[in-house]
């Protein structure tokens, strides 16, 4: 793959090359975090006022480049804390990289991630409208699809209960049902959504995702499970501790990842 000079974030670039849906070019993402976390609000305020709070730079992504062609289903694999979800948020436009560029038509992108946008003190029904609004649904759209969401989540009879009384599986099912009720977008980004709920609901959710994948979308999937990548993807990308380690066929990339993760002698 051809390389480009490292570009500062925010600089406009030319159009995507023919056949490409997403182009990630030399993306670096840095965050500033406290070196020693304060144990109370009082301690945090004292440190801030006295100027004694010390910070360090954490590099979540380090010069990552790859291209996704239209119609591809690309899996992203890597250990916890390797920057996979950060990369998806940059592609979707939720984060701006410290350096580098992502070229994609964001009007075509849907990022599907679970567990965000819920208020535990609201009822399940209220959270359907809140979470739906956060991901861009109109009230009319939610009104039209409310029963479909409830039935898919298998939560009939629980929607007037506060979400703080739900089990984690119930919350996940509701989040999945809300996020997948819309028509399949041209570019679908899935962040760890193929392990939702119990075995029976997981089978149903995987079937729904397969419908979306095979509906002609360009798809990015983040998963900790190499088997999910092998079963659903046409290509794989391995990101480890912020750096691109490999890209290629799912079997080759997942095999390399598994060899790295396997304890010595096994």
> In the predicted model, what is the mean pLDDT of residues 41-69?
78
> In the predicted model, what is the mean pLDDT of residues 50-59?
72
Lowest mean pLDDT among 22-26, 81-85, 198-202: 198-202
Q: For all residues of the chain together, what is the average pLDDT?
A: 84
Per residue in 1-43, pLDDT (tens digit) is: 333 344 444 444 556 788 899 999 999 999 876 666 655 666 6
Instruction: Give bridge partners of residue 23 from the DSSP assignment.
Output: 67, 103
> In the predicted model, what is the mean pLDDT of residues 41-48?
64
pLDDT tier, 55 (very low <50, low <70, confident <90, very high otherwise): low
Per residue in 121-178, pLDDT (tens digit) is: 999 999 999 988 887 889 999 999 999 999 999 999 999 999 999 998 898 889 889 9
pLDDT tier, 107 (very low <50, low <70, confident <90, very high otherwise): confident
pLDDT, residue 252, reads 96
Residue 101 pLDDT more than 80?
Answer: yes
Question: 156: left (phi > 0), else alpha (psi -120 to 50), else beta?
Answer: beta
pLDDT, residue 114, reads 66
Using DSSP, state whether 206 is helix, strand or coil.
helix
- Residue that has been written with the tokens 């590099």 in this structure: 59
CA distances from 89 to 105, 110, 185, 188, 227 (A): 14, 11, 17, 12, 24
Q: Which residue has the higher pLDDT, 17 or 266?
A: 17
> In the predicted model, what is the mean pLDDT of residues 89-116?
87
Residue 106 pLDDT more than 90?
Answer: no
Residue 242 pLDDT more than 80?
Answer: yes
Per DSSP, 92 falls in state H
The kind and range of the H/E element at 59 are strand 55-69
The token pair that represents 223 in the structure block: 């998963």
pLDDT, residue 1, reads 34
């Amino acid at each position: 793959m051809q390389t480009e000079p490292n570009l500062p974030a925010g600089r406009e670039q030319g159009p995507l090359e023919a056949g490409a849906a997403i182009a990630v070019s030399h993306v670096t993402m840095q965050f500033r975090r406290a070196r020693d976390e304060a144990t109370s609000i009082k301690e945090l305020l004292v440190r801030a006022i006295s100027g004694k709070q010390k910070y360090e730079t954490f590099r979540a992504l380090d010069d990552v480049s790859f291209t996704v062609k239209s119609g591809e289903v690309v899996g992203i694999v890597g250990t916890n804390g390797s920057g996979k979800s950060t990369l998806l948020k940059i592609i979707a436009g939720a984060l701006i990289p410290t350096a580098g560029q992502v070229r994609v038509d964001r009007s075509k992108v849907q990022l599907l991630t679970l567990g965000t946008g819920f208020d535990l003190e609201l009822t399940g029904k209220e959270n359907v409208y809140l979470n739906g609004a956060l991901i861009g649904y109109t009230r009319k759209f939610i009104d039209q699809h409310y029963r479909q969401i409830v039935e898919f989540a298998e939560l009939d009879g629980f929607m007037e209960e506060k979400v703080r009384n739900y089990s984690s599986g119930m919350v996940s099912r509701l989040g999945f049902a809300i996020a997948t009720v819309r028509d399949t977008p041209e570019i679908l980004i899935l962040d760890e959504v193929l392990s939702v709920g119990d075995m029976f609901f997981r089978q149903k959710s995987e079937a729904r995702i397969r419908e979306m994948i095979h509906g002609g979308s360009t798809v990015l999937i983040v998963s900790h499970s190499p088997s999910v990548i092998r079963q659903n993807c046409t290509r794989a990308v391995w990101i480890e501790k912020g750096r691109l380690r490999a890209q290629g066929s799912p079997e080759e990339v997942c095999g390399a990842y598994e060899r790295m993760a396997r304890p010595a002698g096994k």
